[in-house]
Amino acid sequence: MQKNKQTKHNGSSEKSCETVSKLYLVPTPIGNLDDMTFRAVKILNAVDVILAEDTRSTSFLLKHYKIEKKMFSHHKFNEHAKAEQIVQYIAEGKSIALVSDAGTPGISDPGFLLVRTCIEHNIDVECLPGATAFVPAVVNSGLPCDRFVFEGFLPQKKGRLKRIEQLVHEERTMIFYESPFRLVKTLSQFAESFGNDRKACVSREISKLYEENFRGTLQELIIHYTDKPPKGEIVIVVAGK
């Protein structure tokens, strides 16, 4: 497979990073910029192109790490149209990194479709380990984390209550992503299906300055966040049955 050597542009004395023509999934910090890994910075410096969910957000990250690289947008509204084009670009010997606004691409963010298309065309895919919100949330919750199920975002309208009802007998710890504007509504729906006394934890602004982990029963969480409407990124962890 064709190799592509490029030198770092951040002024450090580290050796250049060597990449091959493949798709790299590169996790980015979910809050604290210091959570970026050394390897992630090297890969972003070395690839030919960076695909970003939001080029404005990624530009801030690249500027922070003194990375100068060609960048194109890749989000849920254009990923179907661009997947084949990107695969062809890699097949021609280029290396591409995919990043989302925060966390690991493909986890409640664009990425799955492009990965699947690459695999269908025998294009190598490499996912770097790195930041994601649900792991620190489930560990911080104090709820069992030896077995858990990640549900991501619930449907906003159609199918929402059906999805919750399907989880009534789930024995594993459950993890959800949610908007702060729907948090109390979601907790109330959980309480109706799982019971007011079900243990849960809401993690907010993970790794950021005002990180918060509020633990209690669903009823206690509802009261707390009704009185103090939350802001920022939200992860809800709910005990299994």
Number of domains, the chain = 2
Same-domain check for residues 82 and 193:
no
Same-domain check for residues 139 and 119:
no
Same-domain check for residues 86 and 144:
no
Same-domain check for residues 183 and 99:
no
DSSP string covering 134-147? HHHHHHHT-S--SS
pLDDT of residue 17: 62
What is the C-alpha to C-alpha distance for residues 16 and 42, in angstroms, rounded to an integer? 8
pLDDT of residue 183: 97
Q: Give the domain-ending residue among 105, 127, 149.
A: 127
CA nearest 4: which of 50, 38, 43, 46? 46
Same-domain check for residues 16 and 111:
yes
Q: What is the pLDDT of residues 140-189, one digit of tens each?
A: 999 999 999 999 999 988 899 999 999 999 999 999 999 999 999 999 99
Same-domain check for residues 15 and 100:
yes
Same-domain check for residues 216 and 101:
no
Q: Give the domain-ending residue among 127, 151, 173.
A: 127
Same-domain check for residues 110 and 8:
yes
Both tokens of 215, joined, read 């633990």
125-127 β-sheet, strand order: 70-73, 49-52, 96-99, 23-25, 125-127
pLDDT of residue 8: 40
Residue 227: which domain range?
134-238
Same-domain check for residues 164 and 101:
no
pLDDT along the chain (241 residues), means of 10: 43 55 95 94 97 94 95 89 93 95 90 95 95 95 96 92 96 97 97 98 94 97 97 96 94
Q: Give the domain-ending residue among 127, 151, 178.
A: 127
CATH number, domain with residue 139: 3.30.950.10
Total-model pTM: 0.86
Same-domain check for residues 84 and 121:
yes
Same-domain check for residues 147 and 225:
yes
Same-domain check for residues 43 and 16:
yes
CA nearest 63: which of 75, 55, 72? 55
pLDDT of residue 108: 86
